[in-house]
Amino acid sequence: MSRSPFDDFLDQYARAVFDKDASRCAALYADDLKVFDCWERWSLEGKPAWRAMIDDWLGSLGEERVQVTWRQVSAWSSGDLAAGSALLRFAAIDRSGATLRSMEDRLSAVLQREAGQWRVVHQHTSVPISFADMKAVSSEDPNGRAASEPGAADTAASTTSH
């Protein structure tokens, strides 16, 4: 089975984030992209706004690195359009490789091929909101429930590293 443009995007994104390479990360996105992100702003339009967000995030890490892994990938492509969704885990790690903290979110992205290059034209990240306390839920138990739901397991969901 061949890899999708979305699979390639995930690989390139994870490497750029781990390397804290904002230029390489921003290069994955189209100039006219639209982003609905989980952090700070309701939406971001255009690569300059997204690049500023990437710069702020990666610049805030100090000596930490972020390891991005994913699971439950669904992807399709047709012609010059591709899309996919996945559950992503962002783990802050120290110099020794120990995980300091982590969170999960849901990602959907639409990619378009222009001049032979696939670029994200739309990205949407989200986390569910708990009915009980109206707080964001940033991890899922192995049964697919938000960790704060009644009956959810106390253990974090497993991830498959790519």
Tell me what percent of the residues of the chain surpass a pLDDT of 70.
Answer: 83
The strand ranges marked E within 52-143 are 65-78, 81-93, 99-114, 117-126
Residue 114 lies in a domain: yes
Sheet strands side by side (includes 29-36): 44-45, 29-36, 117-126, 99-114, 81-93, 65-78
Residue 24 lies in a domain: yes
Residue 13 lies in a domain: yes
Residue 159 lies in a domain: no
Residue 136 lies in a domain: no
What single-letter DSSP state applies at residue 80? T
Dig out the tokens for 77 from the structure: 């492509």
Q: What pLDDT, in 10s, does the model give residues 95-144? A: 999 999 999 999 999 999 999 999 999 999 887 778 888 887 777 655 45
Residue 11 lies in a domain: yes
Which of the pair, 133 or 65, is modelled with greater confidence? Answer: 65
Domain count, the chain: 1
Residue 82 lies in a domain: yes
- Burial, 92: exposed, middle or buried (Cβ in 10 Å; 0-12, 13-18, 19+)? middle
Q: What pLDDT, in 10s, does the model give residues 66-83? A: 999 999 999 999 999 999
Residue 54 lies in a domain: yes
What backbone torsions phi and psi does residue 36 show, to the nearest 5 degrees?
-105, 105
CATH of the domain at 66: 3.10.450.50
Strand partners, 109: 84, 123
Which range marks the domain in which residue 99 is found?
5-126
Mean pLDDT within 32-47:
85
Return the pLDDT at 152. 40
